[in-house]
Chains A and B, each alone.
Chain A
Amino acid sequence: MNEDRVESGLVALDKMLGGGYFRGDSTLIAGSPGTGKTTLAIQFLASGVMDDEPGVFVTFEYLPQQMYRDALAKGWDLKEWEKSNKFRLICTTPEVLIAEDEKGNTLLDEAIKEIKAKRIVIDSLAHFEFLGLSQSELRGTIAGFMNHLKLKEVTTLVTHEIPEIIGPVMRISDFGFEFLVDNVIILRYVEMEAELKKAFIILKFRGGDHDRKLHEYITTKTGIEIENPFQNVEGITSGASRKTATQRAKDLI
């Protein structure tokens, strides 16, 4: 097994993962809208830029100009990264992305080759659902795509939107995307006594021990910051978490 680790871009997450993602592994970042999936993904690529590990960001969702603007606001100059060949931003559709030329190369293969990319982000997997494929065909397509990236030894993050903003039911996808990746990270809103907070959960981490605690995280001007695990709180995974009586005692007794 390849024990080489890749930094996630968040010191706290690396610690939770026992040193970072395994090189070549794929990670699904699933979360409701606005939970910071894209930010987390760019942080991952930003870390690569610093470590001389170029990255490709494939977006089906945002126009590059939005990405440049939003990233710049957080201090990441994507255009500069592109100029120095440490980054590529591809805005396309899933059908174009998976299409192969006569030599069997995809657009992504070309980008990887062009900048010697080591990290890939696909934002987001939900768009593959619009390909009009059956459930099994779609699973097969994505599995093939993921395997292809694994063979190229690139570490991949794929985002996926969970429609439920809050609530006891949390289905990652109808297509079982979570089974096609090595790791699954969940970003979700939790209601805590009339306050909306965000919880960071590592649901699955293949091949290694990881922090199973539910951590609070915040989105700051410079990206996501994972904080300490929720203490004395129950029911976080149901979306409607409650502080325990011992936690409330601080305010009430």
Chain B
Amino acid sequence: MTSNTLITGIQVLTAALFFVIGGMLLKRKAKSRYARPTIFFALWWVIVGITKGKTILDSILVEYEYYGLHIGLFYLNAVLVFAGFFFLLYYTLVLFTGNEKITIPFGVFFLALLVLLLAFVAASGPVVITEAGGDLAPGTIDCEIPNWVTTLLLLGMLLPQIGVCVALYVLFFKLKGQPTQRYRVFLISTSLFLWFGSGLLVSFAESARGSDAWLIIKELISLFAGMLIYFAYNPPAFIKKKHNIIGLADENTVQAVQAEE
């Protein structure tokens, strides 16, 4: 098995896992006033699955030396990633403030960043790398974006998400007497840290060594992050019993019984 096949295999598993998580959370019965943040949170995980799927599709297209879709997929992915980041931030802000209006400026900010990115990419005349060799791998989009824009995009996108992770970790310490929520928030925040952290770690490692091993580690971390979320909502039986934690399926059953009563 080549390292590429292994990487793709892990990616497929990861994407599938995130789709399952997204689907599972979309079915969650939320109180009406929390319907939107609940759906957005589920959509965030669906988008994580889609972006992973996009990476897989890119690799397959490269394998077949077809480069006609790469630029379109890049634009689509950019839109989805920005939407996903906004959804996650929206969920966290509503969780902490209870106020949905507070998310509007963040939405505008993310939209502005997205427009900025797309405008610079489009204006620079993006090209898909088709030949191996040089710094860029085949399938990569080569475009000229000023450094300040790259810095602004990185900071603008990552800082709020880091804030999300930190906030959720803080919440873990505050959630006393709510074992299920405490357990879930711990796994969710750890997963998010891993998800964002793995990208940063590997981009650093790649530039330092250019080794496939780092890419495999990155994908394994992503898979592990997905598993954490899965187990956050589907805790193993021994954890349920020992720590008095309920799964998403139990939660929906409890709500259905309450509604019937």
Contacts and interface: CB of A to CB of B under 8 A. Distances in A.
Interface of A: 193-194, 242-243, 245-246, 248-253
Nearest to B94: A252
A253 B185 contact: yes
A245 B178 contact: no
A253 B188 CA distance: 9
Nearest to B232: A253
B175 A251 contact: no
Interface string B92-133: 001111110000000000000000000000000000000000
Most buried by B among A243, A248, A250, A253: A253
Q: Taking chain A's interface residues, is the majority helix, strand, or loop, or is none over half, making it mixed? A: helix
Contacts of B38: 252
Nearest to B41: A252
A248 B94 CA distance: 9
Given A245-B171, A246-B171, A246-B175, A252 B95 contact: yes
Interface in B180-237: 181, 184-185, 188
12 contacts: A242-B98, A242-B99, A245-B95, A245-B96, A245-B174, A248-B34, A250-B178, A250-B181, A251-B31, A251-B34, A252-B30, A252-B95
A243 B174 CA distance: 14
B243 interface: no
B37 interface: yes
Given A246-B175, A249-B175, 17 more contacts: A242-B99, A245-B96, A245-B174, A246-B171, A246-B174, A246-B178, A246-B181, A248-B95, A249-B178, A250-B181, A251-B30, A252-B30, A252-B34, A252-B38, A252-B91, A252-B95, A253-B185
